[in-house]
Structure 1
């Protein structure tokens, strides 16, 4: 079996519908959780049934150093204010060689929050921006 690439020092490319929003250096919150409902059955004192009800998807938070790609995010945010639309999204994890490792296809993406950099001359860190998005779930996960 050939060696499989694994995510180490990945970059993440984000596109929402026709809007390519650039590469991000950090991705957090990509996940889901199954809600369960507990049911007790009469006469079965040693067991509680765990019944699945719905799948909830967490918001995805992406961040990166401030670059000219910030204008791409801002243009998409402005468009969402003027003409809100839940568009499909694509988040691609890239390996150190910049080749795709895995691709998540997201359904109905909306912006939740954008925060710009904090400028502090006493700190030697790069100015960063953060984008938080909500979605209805995964349409697919591919390579």
Structure 2
């Protein structure tokens, strides 16, 4: 049976590329969202309806998480350097399936790291040691 263009595929991991530097591989990505702030105007006359007009778009911060690896401190150092020499960058988040094929992607404008969080260290815990990187951005670029 041929695949439909609307068929969904489970995402197994995510890659993050910022200005050509690839950070592999993340197991969780949250914050891919936007919201529209509205101005409300009450119509004259009977005043029984409200007109809502878009004011501007707000983009949520992105948080990507992955298990700690030998690359963890490299990511931490990259965030520190990026904050010391702030530059807005272009980024891509790609959603990959089990065969490493790209299922979806989001290209982001003017990305800047704002936080790095290392693992909670607990020798008695049963959870994986995780790191997180938090990014802010100014919107999604159109697909090429």
Give the TM-score of the pair, scaled to structure 1. Answer: 0.90
Distance 1:65 1:109 in 2: 23
Distance 2:106 2:46 in 1: 42
Distance 2:9 2:59 in 1: 22
Uncovered stretches (5+) of structure 1, i.e. residues with no partner: none
Aligned to 1:130: 132
Superposed CA offset, 1:40-82 (max 9, x none): 1211422100001101100011101101232442242132133
Q: 1:38-57 residue pairs with structure 2 within 5 A?
A: 38-57=40-59
RMSD value over aligned CA atoms?
1.7
Q: Is the 8 A contact 1:65 1:129 kept in 2?
A: yes
How many aligned residue pairs are there? Answer: 142
Uncovered stretches (5+) of structure 2, i.e. residues with no partner: none
Distance 1:42 1:63 in 2: 51
Q: Are residue 81 (structure 1) and residue 83 (structure 2) matched?
A: yes
Aligned to 2:33: 31
Q: What is the CA distance between 1:22 and its match in structure 2? A: 1.5
Q: Is the 8 A contact 2:63 2:134 kept in 1?
A: yes
Distance 2:68 2:50 in 1: 51
- Runs of 4 or more, structure 1, over 2 Å off, are 1-7
Aligned to 1:104: 106
- Which deviates the most, 75-84 or 19-28? 75-84
Distance 1:7 1:140 in 2: 22
Q: SS of the residue aligned with 1:139? A: coil
Superposed CA offset, 1:95-129 (max 9, x none): 12211001100000111111101111111221100
Are the structure 2 counterparts of residues 33 and 7 from structure 1 closer, same or farther at C-alpha, using a change threshold of 3 Å? farther
- Which deviates the most, 50-59 or 6-15? 6-15
